[in-house]
Amino acid sequence: MIKRQYAGVVIDQIHPSLDKLFHYTVPENLSDQIQIGVRVQVPFGHRSVQGYVLTLDDETDVPLERIKPIKKLLDPGPALHSSATSLIFWMKKEYHCMFIEAIRCFIPPGLRMNMKKKKQLVVVLEDTDCVDEWIKKVESRSPGMAAILKILEQNESMLRDELLDLSGASQSSIQSLLKRGYIRIEEEDTYRNPWPIAQIPTKSPEFNEEQAAASKVIENCIREGKGTVLLRGVTGSGKTEVYMRAAELALAKGREVIVLVPEISLTPQTVGRFKGRFGNRVAILHSRLSLGERYDEWRRIRSNEVQIVVGARSAVFAPLERLGLIIMDEAHEDSYKSEVRPRYHARDIAAKRCSLDGAVLVLGSATPSLEDYYKAIQGEYLLIEMKNRVGCQTLPQVEIVDMRLELEMGNRSMFSNALYQALKHCITQKEQAILLINRRGYAHFVSCRSCGHVVKCRNCDVSLTFHVREDALKCHYCGYREGYPRICPECKSKYIKHFGAGTQRVEEELHQLFPTVRLLRMDTDTTGRKGAHHKILDAFERQEYDILLGTQMVAKGLDFPNVTLVGVLAADSALNLPDYRSSEKTFQLLTQVAGRAGRSSKPGRVVIQTYQPGHYAVRHASNHDYSGFFQRELQIRQQFSYPPFSHIIRVLITGEEEKEIVNFSKNMIQWLEKRVADNRLLQEGLIDLGAYPAPIERIKNRYRWQLLIRIRTDEKYLQAFHHLAEDLNKEFYRDTLSAALDFKPLSLI
């Protein structure tokens, strides 16, 4: 066999000119250890830099006199797990990112920074045969030394601090024993523990019919080592138990598991349940861990000490070698999408990874994204539905309150009479309530408080965005604009304005209505510090508070048996975001938050306040009617050629000089138009193309424009536009401007 002698190395620095494989020779003394995926030190110019070996080749284009040897191997084994390299090549094509950007997804920063491992001292007995004799020698003079030896006789080795504790001896006893050569001290790696809360072990319950059926389907997939399952189960239908059973099945087959949750801090209960069921076999990965914690959890995974990884988005890159199952809880959540390069969606990485590793993907949600559900009914995914809550609980009764009528009746408060009465009842019964203020879209749209009319674009089915600077309303899909209306174009009322209500204002009003109520607020202001979520939710669970008031954060995954009332203020505020997904997001949010009520024997009640009681997203959510909503929304998407009936490609351009980015955007459009005109495939595939200021025109002093390219869904068109995008990246790279290319943007804001 010919020895492959040229290592293709990616340099660990982010710069377009370095975005390729550089060949190095493998020195004789390293030839057994250099494999694909190892981290190495290589000479580069006059410096020495870190890099990763992605290929081993027999031939090279580099002239032999210029090629240099690898200097050093940095870790004992490959830093990248075996299927990572294929994923990295795939990500580069799919996301138009640099090699190194893809590689860094897999590597904890602590490794690259050569972070120190945490060490502790272990005392080891030198010779077990002599220990009785030694004890006799020291017993009379030093009880401490004798005590240490007696403990070591039982245990052979022990952490130094524990040993001192147990024996009651002093440090000097250890020194004397060392001098005599009876013991030695070794350093041992320890891991920082990111989840210090002790978890009570639990056992799997007896499954009901729906759970058993779901479990069966997943079990078959695991046996075959392939398949994507969409598990749509109403809130409280026992999905988490199904996930845990699936994990057990995979473990029993010797395979490993990744469990993805939208955001660890928002779903401590789910994480806790996995820890409770699987204990030390679970590692936790997410971005709020300290660098040290993250590095240590990664090392535990890499060295096969754990079999289950629970984590947020980035955990999909966990370095497991025998992956058999990926579970994605609340798979519809937007936090699975990365908004920094590489702009991946964890579901797409998971799907690719499962197909490489022979693993099964389970997507779970009470409200699957339209895209996922569409794939399921098209037969691309296996669909399992769990329509009933566990036990005999029913889904809560939902009441819609028309806030226009409240205003007519002279109620100018943020609380309708119905919600006020419900809160009062709840408090006197010593039960708890959750109040959601939907602040997404705050002050972006303009609506009439008398008739509910929302000002929309005349060309597109999206609401117009209010731009304070120009005192104008604009459509960011087609560029249409009009002046700020002084009266409602529908009913001539003058109560037309952009609006929203912050959590603080609601808090003040609640205190006026119920002076003695114990009120807990959860929003970005109160949850800044690490662990803050946990504290808030724990206090609420211990029933130290009557009402939990918050933004989106309170809608997700919480399971509190004493919560019998859920109230939603301004249900429609997200309906009017300039986004084709705004109805879907609203439906999901309302369904999720309604699911927080009535999760035990006490029945639940939900009050939704809205200015648009007739909107289909609100109506279907109040009837717990997912498929009704799905049918209606799908029709609208088809009518307006929105995803899944088209792909939207977005290029976000930002820079400090407004004029510069406007010109840049215009040049880019011209370049694109010309390329499309020259190519039949691109021409056929294109639906429309345009450059507009982004709805939020400036963030952190950078001006923002975006190019939106809408194309047909056939694979051949998609590939053609991927090729085009590659050229666009090269043509338009600038140091001062940033052009972010996104083939599946979730947000167009």
Closest CB 267 distance from ligand ADP, rounded Å:
10
> Token pair of 610, please?
């809205």
Q: Cis bond leading into 196, ω under 30°?
A: no
Q: Which is nearer to ligand ADP, 81 or 245 (CB)?
A: 245
Q: Which of 60, 82, 208, 355 binds ligand ADP (CB under 6 A)?
A: 208
Closest CB 208 distance from ligand ADP, rounded Å:
5
480 touches Zn ion by CB under 5 A: yes
583 touches ligand ADP by CB under 6 A: no
Q: Which of 356, 383, 407, 460 binds Zn ion (CB under 5 A)?
A: 460
Closest CB 243 distance from ligand ADP, rounded Å:
8
> Token pair of 147, please?
């005590």
Q: Which of 101, 241, 348, 633 binds ligand ADP (CB under 6 A)?
A: 241
Closest CB 261 distance from ligand ADP, rounded Å:
11
What's the burial of 371, exposed, middle or buried (CB within 10 Å: 0-12/13-18/19+)? middle
44 contact, one of ligand ADP, Zn ion, none, CB 5-8 Å limit per kind: none
240 contact, one of Zn ion, ligand ADP, none, CB 5-8 Å limit per kind: ligand ADP
- Are 49 and 4 a contacting pair, CB within 8 Å? no
477 contact, one of ligand ADP, Zn ion, none, CB 5-8 Å limit per kind: Zn ion
Q: Which of 228, 240, 314, 564 binds ligand ADP (CB under 6 A)?
A: 240
Pairwise CA distance, residues 650 & 648, whole Å? 6
126 contact, one of ligand ADP, Zn ion, none, CB 5-8 Å limit per kind: none
598 touches ligand ADP by CB under 6 A: no
Q: Find, among 127, 129, 174, the residue nearest to 147 by Cα.
A: 174
237 contact, one of ligand ADP, Zn ion, none, CB 5-8 Å limit per kind: ligand ADP
Closest CB 8 distance from ligand ADP, rounded Å:
45
Closest CB 491 distance from Zn ion, rounded Å:
3
From 234-242, 251-259, 499-507, 573-581, span contacting ligand ADP (CB under 6 A): 234-242
Closest CB 588 distance from ligand ADP, rounded Å:
14
Q: Find, among 228, 153, 142, 231, the residue nearest to 180 by Cα.
A: 142
> Token pair of 296, please?
């240590």
Amino acid at 101: E
Closest CB 407 distance from Zn ion, rounded Å:
11
556 touches ligand ADP by CB under 6 A: no
612 touches ligand ADP by CB under 6 A: no
What's the burial of 46, exposed, middle or buried (CB within 10 Å: 0-12/13-18/19+)? exposed
CB atoms within 10 A of CB 703: 20
239 touches ligand ADP by CB under 6 A: yes
Say which residue the tokens 């950078």 belong to: 702
From 17-25, 235-243, 332-340, 570-578, span contacting ligand ADP (CB under 6 A): 235-243
Closest CB 239 distance from ligand ADP, rounded Å:
3
Closest CB 242 distance from ligand ADP, rounded Å:
7
Quick note: the x/- pattern for Zn ion over 488-507, rule CB under 5 A, is: x-xx-x--------------
From 193-201, 203-211, 253-261, 401-409, span contacting ligand ADP (CB under 6 A): 203-211
First CA to last CA across the chain, in angstroms? 56
C-alpha distances in Å from residue 36, one per residue of 31, 300, 445: 12, 21, 53
Which residues in 587-609 are b (16+ Cβ under 10 Å) and which e? bbbbbbbbbbbbbeeeebbbbbb
Q: Find, among 582, 102, 584, the residue nearest to 343 by Cα.
A: 102
Q: Which of 56, 178, 382, 451 binds Zn ion (CB under 5 A)?
A: 451
Q: Which of 22, 44, 191, 207 binds ligand ADP (CB under 6 A)?
A: 207
Q: Where are the beta strands (DSSP E) in 176-292?
A: 183-190, 228-233, 256-260, 282-285
Interior angle at CA 363, CA 357 and CA 367, nearest 5: 165
- Are 310 and 274 a contacting pair, CB within 8 Å? yes
Q: Which is nearer to ligand ADP, 240 or 314 (CB)?
A: 240
CB atoms within 10 A of CB 314: 19
377 contact, one of ligand ADP, Zn ion, none, CB 5-8 Å limit per kind: none
Amino acid at 542: R
237 touches ligand ADP by CB under 6 A: yes
Interior angle at CA 78, CA 75 and CA 80, nearest 5: 120
369 touches ligand ADP by CB under 6 A: no
Which chain residues interact with ligand ADP by CB under 6 A? Answer: 205-208, 211, 233, 235-241, 390, 559
